[in-house]
């Protein structure tokens, strides 16, 4: 059986003595390959390779780094179909969704191609007599990214293109559940002309993560995943002197106002709640309807669409939703649905017990819709990370906003309305990092930064966009003086001004 190994110093191999773990096709439940789980020694070997490659890469002119990114972008586009097939085979999302993921990742590569402009720094002549001052953005060194299963291509590309264009070398620890797409991407980077050792991939579990967090040669760590792990990454990394950005979980609410275009809201919510089987940190999982009339109309229009979702193998382009990533996820979400019923929520559409012909062992669950959900219920409080949409009823926009502000997460949110005053008030005052107005998935484009508030982000800087330049560099300010020949001045003991 094929074993997905690691890429270290430009070569793919399975680390000696590394453990292995099965990789499944979620649509069939069958084991398709195995992945090596890196030992401490294997991770240290990758870090050593990155450390050795750093001086030459740091001193490579930014324009030459950008040319590698231009070639890499072209190779990603040429190999898009193969990358997306690997994503679907191991994650389960439908091919169109995989292509959307890859496209958003490529957009960050495009942004990185502008690195020479972004890294120019600042310069002021004559801040004092014959004194010039300027700032430079210098690379950190070896940096690492620890990425989740739900976007095996896109989320790594939120990190490493910007890290590399800034002159850093990179260690990627992708999810061990769907490792093949990141390995192919690593091979394409090599084909694009990236020097050996500049980008390395180590597959693994907690042992690999802890080695990255503890090794003093790693200067910074980027992470995307659940909030408990994000908090662990942040606390351990910063305790070891590293710069850390750790993006955590979410419970994204949409508010539907009485004046909203309900048909458009329903169509938007279907994609936002059930796309990628709900396995998105920006998925809408709660709809807060202002007024019972609004809620009744929305639920009545959602119900038939949720019930008729076409579910099956993601390789069938006619399907709208594929399976969940693991059997454990399937069982957990089925349990949460049962718990929602027991706690008094009204189950409008039940996704439990779905069987897909020819894929009876796949990890499928149907679209699920709850009404009359309250704050005390587990389905409201927890990030379900599955195709479950909860409808909450509120009496006013203020009450709806208070629900969002009171939740521990603050990743994304949306308001459906035709009222410009309400939209402006909502955008100005809601305590959430990414806000949509009639846009259910307000994921920033590559040249803006992605990040939530509250327990959805640990650290001061968000992913990609301008924040990525700040995260992957240190500012150094130089003040220089060249006095005129023959001029000698006495000592000055006052503070310079």
List, by residue number, the catalytic residues. Answer: 281
Residues 6 or more apart whose Cβ sits within 8 Å of residue 308: none
Contact 204, 173 (CB under 8 A): yes
What token pair was written down for 58? 């740091």
Give SS3 for 167.
Answer: coil
Give Cα 13 to chain centroid, integer Å.
27
Q: Contact, 306 vs 367, CB < 8 A? A: yes
82's CB contacts (< 8 A; 6+ apart) are 184
Comparing C-alpha atoms, which of 19, 24, 23 is closest to residue 205? 19
Length, in residues, of the chain: 497
Beta bridge partners of 218: 142
**What's the Rg (C-alpha) of the chain?**
25
Q: Are 66 and 361 in contact (CB under 8 A)?
A: no
> Residues 362, 314: contact at Cβ < 8 Å?
no
Strand order, beta sheet including 122-128: 122-128, 131-139, 473-481
Best CA proximity match to 274, nearest among 85, 440, 61? 440
């Amino acid at each position: 059986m094929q074993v997905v190994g690691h890429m270290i110093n430009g070569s793919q191999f399975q680390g000696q003595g590394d453990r292995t773990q099965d990789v499944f096709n979620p649509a069939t439940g069958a084991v398709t390959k195995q992945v090596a789980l890196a030992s401490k020694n294997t991770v240290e070997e990758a870090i050593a390779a990155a450390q050795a490659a750093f001086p030459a890469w740091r001193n490579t002119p930014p324009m030459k780094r950008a040319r590698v990114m231009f070639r890499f972008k072209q190779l990603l586009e040429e190999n898009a179909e193969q990358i997306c097939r690997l994503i679907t085979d191991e994650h389960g999302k439908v091919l169109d969704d995989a292509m959307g993921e890859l496209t958003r990742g490529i957009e960050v590569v495009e942004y990185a191609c502008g690195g020479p402009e972004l890294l120019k720094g600042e310069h002021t002549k004559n801040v004092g007599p014959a004194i010039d001052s300027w700032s430079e953005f210098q690379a950190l060194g070896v940096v690492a990214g620890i990425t989740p299963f739900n976007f095996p291509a896109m989320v790594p590309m939120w990190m490493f293109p910007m890290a590399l264009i800034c002159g850093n070398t990179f260690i990627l620890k992708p999810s061990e559940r769907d490792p093949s797409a990141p390995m192919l991407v690593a091979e394409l980077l090599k084909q694009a002309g990236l020097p050996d050792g500049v980008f390395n991939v180590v597959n693994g579990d907690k042992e690999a993560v802890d080695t990255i967090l503890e090794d003093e040669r790693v200067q910074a760590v980027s992470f995307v995943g659940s909030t408990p792990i994000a908090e662990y990454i942040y606390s351990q990394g910063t305790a070891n002197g590293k710069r850390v950005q750790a993006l955590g979980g979410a419970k994204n609410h949409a508010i539907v106002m009485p004046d909203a275009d309900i048909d458009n809201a329903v169509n938007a919510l279907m994609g936002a709640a059930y796309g990628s089987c709900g396995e998105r940190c920006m998925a809408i999982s709660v709809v807060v309807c202002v007024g019972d009339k609004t809620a009744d109309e929305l639920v009545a229009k959602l119900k038939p669409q949720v019930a008729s979702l076409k579910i099956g193998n993601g390789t069938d382009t006619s399907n709208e939703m594929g399976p969940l990533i693991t059997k454990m996820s399937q069982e957990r979400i089925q349990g949460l649905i049962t718990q929602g019923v027991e706690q008094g929520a009204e189950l409008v559409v039940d996704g439990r017990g779905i069987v897909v012909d020819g894929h009876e062992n796949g990890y499928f669950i149907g679209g699920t819709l709850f009404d009359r959900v309250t704050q005390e219920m587990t389905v409201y409080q927890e990030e379900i990370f599955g195709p479950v949409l909860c409808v909450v009823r509120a009496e006013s926009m203020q009450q709806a906003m208070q629900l969002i502000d009171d939740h521990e997460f603050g990743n994304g949110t949306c308001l459906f309305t035709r009222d410009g005053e309400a939209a402006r008030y909502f955008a100005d005052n809601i305590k959430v990092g990414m806000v949509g107005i009639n846009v259910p998935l307000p994921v920033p484009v590559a040249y803006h930064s992605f990040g939530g508030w509250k327990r959805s982000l640990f650290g001061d800087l968000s992913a990609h966009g301008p924040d990525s330049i700040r995260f992957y560099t240190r500012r150094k300010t130089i003040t220089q003086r060249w006095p005129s020949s023959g001029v000698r001045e006495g000592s000055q003991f006052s503070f310079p001004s």
